[in-house]
Amino acid sequence: MGTTLTGTTPQDTYDSLIKVTDNGPLSGTAKYLSDGLGNDSALALSTGNIGIGMTNPTVKLEIKDTPHTTVKVRSGSDDNILFLQSIQGADSRMGTETATPLTLYTNGNEQIRITSAGNVGIGTTSPALSASADITDLTVTKSGRPTNVAVLNLQGDRSGDGGAISRVGTINFWQASNNTSRINGLRSTQSGSGAIAFETDNASSGLTERMQITSEGYVRLSSNSGGIQFNGDTAAANALDDYEEGTFTPSISFGGLSTGITYAFAGATYTKVGRKVTLNGYIALSNKGSATGNARIEGAPFTVLAGDNALSATTLWYNNVTYTGSYQAFFRSGTTYAELTEVTEAGAISALQETDFANNSEVIFSVTYFV
């Protein structure tokens, strides 16, 4: 078969080599290479493509095997082996078979490195904290900018959701222990001009927002937050769970009624820290009206805690109000009003009445109570 080769015997040499089948010269149709016995090899050639293990290569080089295909590139000493692998019905893989890193280059420069220990570095060749018990799984380093600051950008495409998705980027931290999972999340939101929200999950209720850092710089605990605990305290009762401040309009009543009462001024402020409420207010009457009975200051923004141990004495200043002995007041538990009273030197207490007030009476009050 074939022609005589110089210095060799065709039967001994040529027939032991692969040859193009006797179907004519190569054309646009793929041709197989076969041995001298007519056995086709797995290599197919076309005018532009090479196929190994297949008959119709569609790109310059295409490889196919069953049940999976593996391509290996070795260094001369086999101390660095790169492989590409496609597994039938499973995943595709790229990596090293030796204790060497896998790196990705662009423009001739290394950009990403995965070490043999599995640490990932972007912009750094050493993505791990050496000589430390803590290992950095992902390290992002940037140099060359004016500030040399590395930026990890999580950006969501909301063009097709009609504004229904609030998350534009999420970082989840998972911990599996005793067949349970815990998620602690950090996400960027679209509320307002954008905020950072912190979420937790107890493995049963799903992600629940606990806190936000708003775009204006406020730290905002959500209604699902337990509050702030200090010095390692774990008692729920010792958590600071609320802060609020504002204004309200206090009023005077006689016998629980305010018939015909008008004011030259009536205003007050409040501050609520946890369970403690502090009120400061000023009331100036322009007409005391026609109601009769015990005098009260009404309109507190929070109800006083129920129980005798929640009674709160009130600091008062009066003008154009008559009384016997000395005046006093207290916020009654379970209510939003203060009882205005007088006490004689002998210790007899009685309620102030509408007859003790004039059309131009004034009252300044301050009180702290618990809710």
Q: What is the pLDDT of residues 115-138, one digit of tens each?
A: 888 889 888 888 865 555 566 788
Instruction: Report the predicted TM-score, pTM, of the whole model to 2 decimal places.
Output: 0.60
What is the tens place of the pLDDT at every residue in 137-169? 888 887 776 667 777 777 666 666 665 556 667
Rounded to an integer, what distance in angstroms lies between the CA atom of residue 276 and that of residue 369?
6
Longest CA–CA span in the chain (Å) reads: 141
Rounded to an integer, what distance in angstroms lies between the CA atom of residue 22 and that of residue 43?
16
What is the tens place of the pLDDT at every residue in 182-196? 555 566 665 445 677
Q: What Å distances lie between residue 54 and 29, 45, 59, 63, CA to CA?
A: 13, 10, 12, 7
Rounded to an integer, what distance in angstroms lies between the CA atom of residue 103 and that of residue 111?
7
Phi and psi at 237, nearest 5°, equal -65, -20
Rounded to an integer, what distance in angstroms lies between the CA atom of residue 33 and that of residue 10?
18
Share of the chain above pLDDT 90, in %: 36
Residue 172, beta-bridge partner list: 185
pLDDT recorded at residue 222 = 84
Sorting pLDDT into bands at 50, 70 and 90, what band is 205?
Answer: low
pLDDT recorded at residue 188 = 64
Work out whether the CA dihedral 202, 203, 208, 209 comes out positive or negative. Answer: positive
What is the tens place of the pLDDT at every residue in 51-60? 888 878 888 8
Among the residue ranges 6-20, 97-111, 138-152, 291-305, the one predicted with the least confidence is: 6-20
Strand pairing report for 295-298 and 357-370: unpaired
38/285: higher pLDDT: 285
Contact indicator for 139, 127 with CB cutoff of 8 Å? yes
Share of the chain above pLDDT 70, in %: 73
Return the domain boundaries, the chain: 10-64, 72-140, 167-239, 245-370
pLDDT recorded at residue 130 = 54
Find tokens 């109800």 and name the residue.
303
Angle at 21 between CA 20 and CA 25, to 5 degrees: 70
CA-based radius of gyration for the chain: 42
Phi and psi at 18, nearest 5°, equal -80, 155
pLDDT at 16 over 70: no
Please give the full DSSP string across 32-67, using - where no structure is assigned.
Answer: EEE-TTS-EEEEEE-SS-EEES-S---SSEEE--SS
Rounded to an integer, what distance in angstroms lies between the CA atom of residue 171 and that of residue 191?
18
Strand pairing report for 50-52 and 61-63: parallel
Locate 21 and state its tokens. 């089948």
Sorting pLDDT into bands at 50, 70 and 90, what band is 1?
Answer: very low
Find tokens 């129980």 and name the residue.
307
Locate 129 and state its tokens. 């904290």
pLDDT recorded at residue 21 = 47
